[in-house]
A and B are shown apart, each in its own frame.
Chain A
Amino acid sequence: MLHLLPDPLPWYIVGPLFGLCVVALYAVTNLHLGVSGSYVQIIDAMRGRGIEVWRLWFLGGLLLGGVLATILGTDHQAGLAYGRLGQLLAPGALIPVLLAGSVLLGFGARWAGACTSGHGISGSSTRSPGSMVAVGTFMVTAVAATWLLHLATGGAL
């Protein structure tokens, strides 16, 4: 909103900053940084199971960080914007598409044990073999599926 940050922040600043978060969490608390594991706590709490409290604090921080970056920077995704997909589909069609896609996202993240952060950034950094396989798989699948959408929509997406 205030446009005080370059949009986007250059990769050579934001990339190392991502990495330092992983290092800081390990170095201070001996915990493995992951985002989907934090959302799992919401589900476990709803089902009356025990939760890892630190993950909720981490999740709260994630949201706060997003708010801060949006206030200091640019709010492209605010309100009803959803990029090219939002231009192509009316909300009545966009909502079911997003729901279907995000169910796959959650199902896959839970199945694989982690997501783009827990496997992608943290797991790759600890040289975890399972994480590297997961990253290779979701990268290749996502690129292939995106190209399929691109071709199927005649280049509209």
Chain B
Amino acid sequence: MNRLNVACALIGTSFGFCFCAAGFNRYDVIHRMLLLQNLTPFLVMGSAVLTAMPLLWLLERRRWRTPLGGDLQLRRWPVERKHVLGGAVFGCGWAITGACPGTISGMLGAGSLFGIVTLAGFLGGMLLRDTVAERAVREETAPVAEPATSTP
């Protein structure tokens, strides 16, 4: 047990608390948000980003040195095709289940039995994506097959 792990567990606890306290682990809350009938969850997400963005900007600008991880370096990713394609698949799953990865942990914490089903599917989907991606890499790097010699 080191200080890094304890810090991560404490922050994880707060984050997990937020999902349930906001009601995000409930199908009806997410479903009504995605029907645009209840806009409060958007206010939650918006105010989360509006809180974090200026604070991170300030820390970055002042070249903050983190106590447990060296110089602060904010992670950014350039736009790629996968963000659109993966995002679209994710959006469909979100619409059907009314759950996202964070709220799955919230469902489990709340004692939801169907949360276990959602977790199983979610893990299976990630594993499936890893398998597909690894196969694509193998095919790209594999030597080109000998051309067929026999013609029909």
Contacts and interface: CB of A to CB of B under 8 A. Distances in A.
Contacts, number: 472
Q: How large is the interface on B (under 10, 10 to 19, 20 to 34, 35 or more residues)?
A: 35 or more
Contact of B74 (A16, A26, A111): A26
A104 B20 contact: no
Contacts of A139: 91
B8 A43 contact: no
- SS class of chain A's interface: helix, strand, loop or mixed? helix
Contact of B75 (A32, A60, A94, A120): A32
B21 A103 contact: no
A4 B45 CA distance: 23
Interface of A: 5, 7-9, 11-12, 14-33, 35-36, 38-40, 42-43, 53-55, 57-70, 73, 75-86, 94-95, 97-113, 115-117, 119-131, 133-150, 157
Interface of B: 4-23, 25-29, 31, 34-36, 40-41, 43-53, 55-57, 59, 64, 66-80, 82-102, 104-115, 117-130, 133
A8 B38 CA distance: 13
Given A9-B22, A108-B93, A21 B15 contact: yes
A66 B11 contact: no
Given A66-B25, A69-B17, A137-B84, A120 B78 contact: no
18 contacts: A14-B44, A19-B51, A22-B56, A28-B68, A29-B7, A30-B70, A30-B72, A58-B12, A59-B12, A61-B10, A64-B9, A101-B118, A104-B96, A105-B97, A105-B101, A108-B87, A128-B76, A145-B95
A18 to B, nearest CB: 4
A34 to B, nearest CB: 9
Nearest to A64: B13
A45 to B, nearest CB: 11
